[in-house]
Structures are given as structure tokens and as C-alpha cells.
């Protein structure tokens, strides 16, 4: 029988935990469970929601792999009076372990940022902020094959991410060619626009744009394209599921890896 520890070696090799943005806020690793527990089925999701835990119970899954940290804010008590307490108690009752691979999966070579850059057909891609090494770090930047109308590129982003709610902040008749990409919440701080401009980009694709960041971009005449947070990351889950399946088979771990069907966009 395969242990949780053995199963997680695949993920730790793919996205080393030490590459996470721990200095600022992150929480990655086995956030709930037992390294020595046995596992035969793995469920991959963006968020370990109550519905995903119920799905894991129904599928007899022993290990949930989520992108967003299952435990993020400090926990002072665990009881059934609040949602987090109920989720933890439910997972414990049914022997479900929960592992989260967050910014380490964003930043690693071949991770979510690289996948986003490939979906958007960027060329000559490099790391926007290579704080790990020249191939790994925050965001990516690369060039389109040719300069395009900003609205046309916004529509391309919407198509690639299957996101009907993509928004754009751009000057009239703006065109773009060099594109910076930060999956998730790169729209939360003006410093990411500054990074993109320093890298020669005329456009940043990222989610969760705050008002003051939008104002900053507008005043600079810089193009911001804002997909939903969910779509910039959920798009990678099928790829992650396939990687885990292939690696589990090559190592003869006897694991069944399943992508969650209950992990849905909360805004729908």
C-alpha cells in the first residue's frame, strides 16, 4: 500500500515546498493528515471546499490535493459551530488527508504561470521576478507574434481561459505585444505593474484588480486584462491531474488520480 508520504513525493518533486512565497503569507504542504496513512485515491482541486470533501467521501478518496491552502488563517478552535471546524472534523472522521501546493506550483518551471504563458502563445518567455532562479519565480513575460489590438487580445484571453467575465482597462485604441502574466491575484498591488513595465511589457494579465491599481494603470496608459482568479488557475488542474497519473504509474504506486467535479467557480 502507498503511504501519503510516498504519494506526496511526486508533488514535492514537481513543486518544491521551499519555493513557496512563505516569507509573505503562504501556507503549503500537508496541512491536515498523517504522512504514514495509506492512500489509493487522490482528488485534485483548486479549493478543498465542503462540497469537495463530500465528493472525496463519496469516492473513497484518502488524499485531497488542493491548490489554495486548506488552512490559511490561524485557527483558534476546531468545533462544529463554524464552517472550518466542520470541514476539519468531517475530513478527520473519514480519514481524508489534505495537501496544498500554492505559490510553489505557481512559480516552478512548468507550473501554472508557464502554462498560462503557453496558452496565450507568448514567445521568448522569461520570469518576471526570478527570486528563485532564472527559470522560476513570480510571473512570466513574453511576446506575442505581432502587435494586436488590446480588445482583441482580451478576447483571446477569454477564449483560452473559458472565461466570459474577462475585463480590460486600456486606453482607447491601445495595442499590446509584450505581455506579463501573473496567475491569481496579481492585480492587488501597483508593484506588479511596475515590474511588468520594467520588463518592457505593455500589458499585464492577472486577476483581482483593486480600484487603486486600475486607476494607476489607466493614468500610465498601461493595459490591464483581468480574468477571474478561478479561471487563471483552474485551467491548470487537468494538466496537474495528468502529470500525477503519469508519475504514479511510472513509480508503480497504485494510485488513482481524479480531478474534482465539485470544485466549481464560486461566482457562477
At 250 the pLDDT is 97
At 192 the pLDDT is 98
pLDDT tops 90 at residue 1 = no
Q: Is residue 268 part of a domain?
A: no
At 202 the pLDDT is 97
pLDDT tops 80 at residue 75 = yes
pLDDT tops 80 at residue 217 = yes
Into how many domains does the chain fold?
A: 2
The answer to whether residues 142 and 201 touch, using CB atoms and an 8 Å cutoff, is: no
CA–CA dist 16, 132 (Å, integer) = 11
Q: Is residue 8 part of a domain?
A: yes
Q: Is residue 163 part of a domain?
A: yes
At 239 the pLDDT is 97
Residues 119 and 223 in one domain: yes
Residues 71 and 159 in one domain: no
pLDDT tops 80 at residue 80 = yes
Residues 123 and 53 in one domain: no
At 21 the pLDDT is 87
pLDDT tens digits, residue range 149-188?
999 999 999 999 999 999 999 988 999 999 999 999 999 9
At 180 the pLDDT is 98
- How far is residue 63 CA from its own chain's centroid? 19
pTM given for the model: 0.96
Q: What is the dihedral of CA 205, 67, 260, 248, to 10 degrees?
A: 120
pLDDT tops 80 at residue 23 = no
Give the side-chain half-sphere CA count within 13 A for 224: 29
Q: Is residue 265 part of a domain?
A: no
Please enumerate in sequence order all residues whose Cβ is within 8 A of that of 94, keeping only pairs 6 or more positions apart, or say none: 56, 57
Give me the CATH number covering residue 122: 3.40.1390.30
Domain boundaries, position 169: 112-228
- Share above pLDDT 70 across residues of the chain, in percent, rounded to a whole number: 99
Residues 125 and 85 in one domain: no
pLDDT tens digits, residue range 221-266?
999 999 999 999 999 999 999 999 999 999 999 999 999 999 999 9
Residues 45 and 65 in one domain: yes
Amino acid at each position: 500500500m502507498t503511504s501519503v508520504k510516498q504519494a506526496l513525493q511526486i508533488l514535492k518533486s514537481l513543486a518544491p515546498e521551499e519555493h513557496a512565497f512563505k516569507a509573505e503569507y503562504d501556507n503549503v504542504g500537508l496541512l491536515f493528515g498523517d504522512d504514514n496513512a495509506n492512500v489509493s485515491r487522490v482528488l485534485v482541486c483548486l479549493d478543498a471546499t465542503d462540497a469537495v470533501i463530500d465528493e472525496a467521501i463519496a469516492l473513497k478518496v484518502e488524499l485531497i490535493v488542493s491548490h489554495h491552502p486548506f488552512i490559511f488563517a490561524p485557527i483558534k478552535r476546531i468545533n462544529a459551530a463554524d464552517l472550518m471546524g466542520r470541514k476539519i472534523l468531517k475530513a478527520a472522521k473519514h480519514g481524508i488527508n489534505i495537501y496544498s501546493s500554492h505559490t510553489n506550483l505557481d512559480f516552478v518551471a512548468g507550473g501554472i504561470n508557464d502554462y498560462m504563458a503557453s496558452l496565450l502563445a507568448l514567445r521568448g518567455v522569461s520570469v518576471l521576478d526570478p527570486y528563485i532562479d532564472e527559470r522560476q519565480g513570480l510571473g512570466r513575460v513574453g511576446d506575442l507574434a505581432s502587435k494586436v489590438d488590446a480588445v482583441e487580445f482580451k478576447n483571446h484571453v477569454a477564449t483560452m481561459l473559458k472565461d466570459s467575465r474577462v475585463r480590460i482597462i486600456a486606453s482607447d485604441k491601445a495595442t499590446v505585444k509584450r505581455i506579463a502574466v501573473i496567475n491569481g491575484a496579481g492585480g492587488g498591488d501597483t508593484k506588479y505593474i511596475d515590474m511588468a513595465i520594467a520588463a518592457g511589457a505593455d500589458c499585464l494579465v492577472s486577476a483581482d484588480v483593486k480600484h487603486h491599481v486600475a486607476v494607476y494603470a489607466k493614468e500610465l496608459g498601461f493595459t490591464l486584462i483581468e480574468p477571474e482568479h478561478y479561471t487563471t488557475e483552474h485551467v491548470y488542474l487537468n494538466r496537474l491531474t495528468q502529470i500525477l497519473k503519469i508519475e504514479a504509474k511510472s513509480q508503480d504506486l497504485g494510485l488513482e488520480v481524479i480531478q474534482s467535479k465539485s470544485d466549481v467557480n464560486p461566482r457562477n
